[in-house]
Amino acid sequence: MSTVPSRRDGSLVKPSWIKARAPGSPQYLETKEVVKSLKLHTVCEEARCPNIGECWSHHTATFMIMGDLCTRKCHFCSVKKGTSDTLQPLDPMEPERVGRAVAELGLKHAVITSVDRDDVSDNGANHFVKTVRAIRKHAPQCKVELLIPDLQGCLDDLEKIMNSGIDVLNHNIETVPRLYKKVRPGAGYIRSLTILKRAKEISPSTLTKSGIMVGLGETSDEVLKVMDDMRASHIDIMTIGQYLRPSERQRPVSEFITPEQFKVYEQEGLQRGFKFVESGPLVRSSYHAWKHTSSS
- The pLDDT of residue 161 is 98
- The pLDDT of residue 81 is 84
- The pLDDT of residue 28 is 64
- The pLDDT of residue 235 is 98
- Residue 92 CB-density burial (10 A; 0-12 exposed, 13-18 middle, 19+ buried): exposed
CA distance 44 to 205: 29
Q: Give residue 150's identity as a one-letter amino acid code.
A: D
What percentage of the chain reaches a pLDDT higher than 70? 81
Would the CA dihedral through 291, 204, 211, 226 be positive or negative?
A: negative
What are the tens digits of pLDDT across the range 168-211? 999 999 999 999 999 988 899 999 999 999 999 999 999 999 99
Q: Considering the entire predicted model, what is its pTM?
A: 0.86
Contact 255, 215 (CB under 8 A): yes
Across the chain, mean pLDDT equals 86
Q: What does 257-291 look like in DSSP terms, one character per residue?
A: PPHHHHHHHHHHHHHTT-SEEEEETT--TTTTHHH
- Residue 171 CB-density burial (10 A; 0-12 exposed, 13-18 middle, 19+ buried): buried
CA distance 179 to 257: 17
Instruction: Quote the CATH superfamily of domain 26-294.
Output: Aldolase class I (3.20.20.70)
Q: Is the pLDDT of residue 3 over 60?
A: no
| C-alpha torsion 191→196→197→201, nearest 10 | 130
What are the tens digits of pLDDT across the range 112-163? 999 889 999 999 999 999 999 999 999 999 999 999 999 999 999 999 999 9
**Which H or E run includes 202?**
helix 189-202
CA distance 169 to 111: 10
| Domain-wise residue ranges, the chain | 26-294
Q: Is the pLDDT of residue 106 over 90?
A: no
Contact 212, 175 (CB under 8 A): yes
* Phi/psi of residue 212, nearest 5 degrees: -135, 160
Q: Is the pLDDT of residue 291 over 80?
A: no
Higher pLDDT, 111 or 287: 111
What are the tens digits of pLDDT across the range 16-64? 888 766 555 666 677 677 777 887 777 666 556 666 656 655 656 688 8
Strands 62-65 and 41-42: antiparallel
* Phi/psi of residue 157, nearest 5 degrees: -65, -40
